[in-house]
Structure 1
Amino acid sequence: MYSYEELKHFVEHCSRCPLSATRNKSVMGRGNFHSSVMFIAEAPGYQEDRDGIPFTGPSGKIFDELLASVGMGRDEIYLTNVVKCHPPRNRDPEPDEQEACIPYLKYETLLIRPKVIVCLGRIAAQRIIRPDFRITREHGQFLYRKNTWLTAVYHPSAILRDDTKMAETKEDFKAIREKLCTERIFERI
């Protein structure tokens, strides 16, 4: 089994899809390697591409606010993306780009072994939970698969576009915190 550092090296030198030619920096997941919860977004944004760190832009501020609303911080969670390189013009990652990166995400999941996976937004939910997932109807609902609880919430960028989604998303984060506590898995965080 590869270490996190070895996996990060592979991601930094990846050329499996055309996104590698347009990126500034690949963006490997970060956080607590012993966390019970893994948050998965779709792809790095402009600022993340520049910094090489997930959620450093405006969406990151919203994400940090959501974590804080339930008494959590980035040091307690693991945060990553389906795609490790920034798609041009912030477009959605194409299916072939997702497919090229999915082995990295699977390996990250094996390294972290989360008990709860939270998909941030529609793209991640459709890749992780199921292809026809409807974020507006199904956010905050839990599904148990392969010893892991899966759920999805609005992506923080959706909240930037429509701040009325903040209250619902805070409720979803409360449910995530409750799931961690109820399942007696929060002590790993």
Structure 2
Amino acid sequence: MFLLFFLALIFIYIYFGLFVLIQIIIWLSVFFVSNFLIGVNPEHRELYLIRILSILVICFVFYYNSKQIINTSYLLPLTIKNVSYLSDFKTPIVFDNNRNEDKIYLYRVDNISNFLNKLDLDDNYILTMIFYPDLINYSINIPQLVLSEPILINRNSSAAIIEKYINERINVMIDFYYLDDSILEETPFGPGVIFHYWKFYY
């Protein structure tokens, strides 16, 4: 019996972590102590309430932390040799509600690398890219030129692949909409791309 209990604690530690294990041990101690005191003095109703409360808290701790584990993910090989598209990712995912934004100037060196280095090490992201000739005075109220469907990235993604893809999509944009090449002329304000990106979990 003791061996099974010990193995259960090891499983909790591996699966949920030390913090959850400490919570479980504390409330198990409360449960066992209340059981012992009930055996000594079964007329104390408060002890029964404490025992029930400890069981409910243990159940809640397991439930809450199991939900947290569902909303995690492993780092994926995204946009390393080729661009990874959201539409190709068939596993159900959960979006983070916090949208991040970054400005990428087309003619500045290491723009993409610096952006990737800002991403969290253990998270995957959905990225959308919107072209703007002027990154200083842009507004969401003006017409937007979305370069591509959403792609998937993380900190291990290839900056060279992303940069090449952006340039290809800009050329397609110019040809498709019959835009003048002057839209790509370098100015103090641009041109560039606005990155919108969200964490996602699967």
TM-score range, shorter chain: under 0.3
**Normalising to structure 2: TM-score of the pair?**
0.22
Larger Rg, first or second structure (1 or 2): 2
